[in-house]
Chain A
Amino acid sequence: MRKVKSFSATRRAFLKSSGHLLIGFQLLPALVFDPKQTDIINNPVADAKVIDAWIRFDTAGILTVITGKMELGQGIKTALMQIAAEELDVAMKDVRIIIADTGQTQDERYTAGSGSIEGSGNSIRNAAAEARKYLLQLAAKELNAKVENLTVSNGIVKSTNSKTIAYKDLIKGKRLETEVTGKAPLKKPAEYKLIGKAIPRADITTMALARQHYIQDLRLPEMVHARILRPPVYNAKLEMLPKEEVSKLPGILKIVVNGNFAAVIARDEYQCVKAWNALKEKAQWQTSLISPLPKELYDTILKTGSAGETVEENASVDKNLSEAAFTHEAVYKRPYHMHGSIGPSCAIALWENEMLTVWSHSQGVYPLRKTISAMLEVPESKIHIIGIPGAGCYGHNGADDVAGDAALLAIEMPGRPVRVQWMREDEHKWEPYGSAMILHLKGGIDAKGKVNAWKTDIWSDTHSTRPGGNAGHLLAARDLEKPFSFKSGGFSGGSHRNSVPLYDFQAKKIVLHDFKGPLRSSALRSLGAYANIFALESFMDELAVKAGKDPVQFRLDHLKDERAKAVINMLVEKGGWRKGKARAGKVENFGEGFAFAQYKNNAAYFAVKAEVKIDPKEKTYRVTKLTGVIDTGQTINSDGVINQTSGGMIQAASWTMLEEVKYDQNGITSTSWETYPILRFEEVPDTEVFIIDHPDKEPLGAGEAAQGPTSAAIANAIFNATGSRLRELPLLPEKIDWEKIS
Chain B
Amino acid sequence: MHRQLKKQASCVLPDIGFNRNDMAELIEIKVNGEKHRIEAEPDMPLLYLLRNNLELNGPKYGCGIERCGSCMVLLNGKAQPSCVIPGAAAAVYEVTTLEGLAKNGKPDLVQEAFIEEQAAQCGYCLNGMIMSAQALLAENKNPSDIEIRQALNRVLCRCGTHTRIIRAVKRAAAKMNV
Interfacial residues, chain A to chain B (CB-CB below 8 A): 3-4, 7, 72-75, 198, 200-201, 203-205, 207-214, 216-217, 219, 222, 248-253, 266-271, 273, 340-344, 389-392, 394, 416, 421, 423-424, 639, 643-644, 646-651, 653-654, 672-674, 678-682, 684, 686-687
Contact = CB atoms under 8 A, between A and B. Distances in A.
Nearest to B111: A208
Contacts of B11: 267
Contacts of B57: 210-214, 217
Nearest to B157: A342
A205 B119 CA distance: 10
B118 A3 contact: no
B94 interface: no
Given A253-B16, A643-B118, A654 B65 contact: no
User: Main secondary structure on chain B at its contact with chain A?
Assistant: loop
A342 B156 CA distance: 7
B118 A271 contact: no
Nearest to B125: A342
Contacts of B118: 198, 200-201, 204, 639, 643
B19 interface: yes
Nearest to B16: A253
B55 interface: yes
Interface string B158-178: 111111101000000000000
B99 interface: yes
Given A203-B123, A208-B111, A342 B52 contact: no
A213 B160 CA distance: 20
B148 to A, nearest CB: 8
Given A4-B15, A267-B11, A250 B162 contact: no
Contacts, number: 196
Contacts of A249: 19
Interface in B67-104: 67-68, 70, 97-99, 102
Contact of A680 (B119, B156, B164): B156
B122 A250 contact: no
Interface string B118-153: 111111111100100000000000000000111011
Contacts of B48: 268-270, 273
B74 to A, nearest CB: 13
B150 A342 contact: no
A139 B22 CA distance: 70
Given A250-B21, A424-B64, A648 B99 contact: no
A269 B52 contact: yes
A66 B25 CA distance: 48
B115 interface: yes
Contact of B61 (A75, A253, A344, A679): A344
B159 A248 contact: no
A251 B18 contact: yes
Contacts of A651: 158-160
Nearest to B132: A681
Nearest to B55: A219
Contact of A3 (B14, B19, B61): B14
Contacts of A212: 57
A649 B160 contact: yes
24 contacts: A198-B118, A204-B114, A208-B123, A209-B111, A249-B19, A250-B24, A271-B21, A342-B62, A342-B124, A342-B156, A342-B158, A343-B70, A391-B122, A391-B124, A392-B124, A416-B16, A639-B118, A646-B160, A646-B164, A647-B159, A647-B161, A649-B160, A650-B161, A681-B162
Given A212-B57, A392-B122, A687-B163, A343 B62 contact: yes
Nearest to A74: B121
Contact of B122 (A3, A73, A205): A73
Most buried by A among B11, B51, B63: B63
Nearest to A423: B64
Interface in B29-65: 40-41, 44-45, 48, 51-52, 55-58, 60-65
A7 B45 CA distance: 29
B158 A267 contact: no
A73 B156 contact: no
Contacts of B1: none
Contacts of B163: 646, 650, 684, 686-687
Given A211-B57, A252-B19, A342-B157, A673 B67 contact: yes
A179 B114 CA distance: 42
Given A343-B70, A424-B62, A210 B56 contact: yes
